[in-house]
Amino acid sequence: MALRAGVAGGVLSTIAVAGSGSASAEPVTETVEMPVLSPTAGLSLAVEESVQAQQQVAFEQEVRAQEDAAAQTAEKTAVKAKAEAVRLAEAEKKAEEQREREAAAAAERERERERASRTAERTTLTTQTSTGSSGSTAPSGGNSASTPAPSTSTPASGSVATVIAFLKAQVGDAYVMGATGPNSWDCSSLVQAAFRQVNIDLPRVSQDQSTAGTQVGTSNLQVGDILYWGAAGSAYHTGVYIGDGKYLDAANPAKGVVIQDLSGYPATGAVRVL
């Protein structure tokens, strides 16, 4: 309708101008073909566009709804997975703690058995030593009291075996600096205690033990020789040679009392007190 009005207005204006320009001119007759427009065409187009817009909005809303639902599902799945992972981790932690407790209990039982075994061996050794060292009598006509043997005297045969047996009974004990038994030792206290089983009273520290007997070197070792590391008189470690190229000592806090191969840690020297 607006288009028609505009066209008609333009035509009338043209005719008026032509008429005013020449009064004597003959009237001009012009036919203008007007476009034919359906009264409902514009309304239909608008309705169609509105429907398409609504459909687009509905589609977008549906897509967002699907995305939100997917995100919620993923979040729930993640929460469940995390909860399950936490549960499994806690279960594994409890199982590991249980295994550690069982291992500690088993280790303690084993240590108890070893201590009991060493205690029994020590009791036997002490009994044997007491039996072997007692009963010395004075010569006929002399004092009836027993004469104690000097602390550095050489004991009867078999004393080396007594020393070695005592030392082997301590294998597995702990190394503790300054300890003197019965279940923990340092190097020199173990050597001192072993030779005390056969009435040989050695000095307490390694430096003095390295000069306590006859120097024999390391090329002519006999079972029962005291090995030392460092210079004689200033040695920092001692042990006892037990034969077959091996020695027994209270090594260090990590090893405790052990039997070791002399080739792995050659001694500086050795002294013989038996």
- Tens of pLDDT, residue by residue over 80-134, are 899 999 999 989 898 989 888 888 888 877 767 766 665 565 555 555 544 544 4
Q: What is the count of structural domains for the chain?
A: 1
CATH code for position 190? 3.90.1720.10
3-state secondary structure the chain: CHHHHHHHHHHHHHHHHHHHHCCCCCCCCCCCCCCCCCCCHHHHHHHHHHHHHHHHHHHHHHHHHHHHHHHHHHHHHHHHHHHHHHHHHHHHHHHHHHHHHHHHHHHHHHHHHHHHHHHHHHHHHHHHHHHHHCCCCCCCCCCCCCCCCCCCCCCCCCHHHHHHHHHHHCCCCEECCCCECCCEECHHHHHHHHHHCCCCCCCCCHHHHCCCCEECCCCCCCCCCEEEECCCCCCCEEEEEEECCEEEEEEECCCEEEEEEHHHCCCCEEEECC
Any domain includes 65: no
Question: What does the pLDDT look like over 205-228, one tens digit per residue?
Answer: 999 999 999 999 899 999 999 999
Q: What is the pLDDT of residue 202?
A: 97
- What does the pLDDT read at residue 142? 33
Domain assignment present for residue 153? The answer is: no
Is residue 196 a part of any domain in this protein?
yes
Residue 143 is assigned to a structural domain of this protein = no
Per-residue confidence (pLDDT) for residue 249, from 0 to 100: 98
Query: What confidence score (pLDDT) does residue 105 get?
Result: 84
The percentage of residues in the chain with a pLDDT greater than 70, rounded to a whole number, is 68
Quick one: pLDDT at residue 40? 67
244 in a domain, yes or no? Answer: yes
Give domain status of residue 44, yes or no: no
Q: For residue 227, what are the domain limits? A: 159-272
Write down the pTM of the prediction. Answer: 0.47
**Confidence grade of residue 153 (pLDDT, cut at 50, 70, 90):** very low
pLDDT in tens, 57-66: 999 998 999 9
pLDDT higher than 90, residue 154: no
Is 112 inside any structural domain? Answer: no
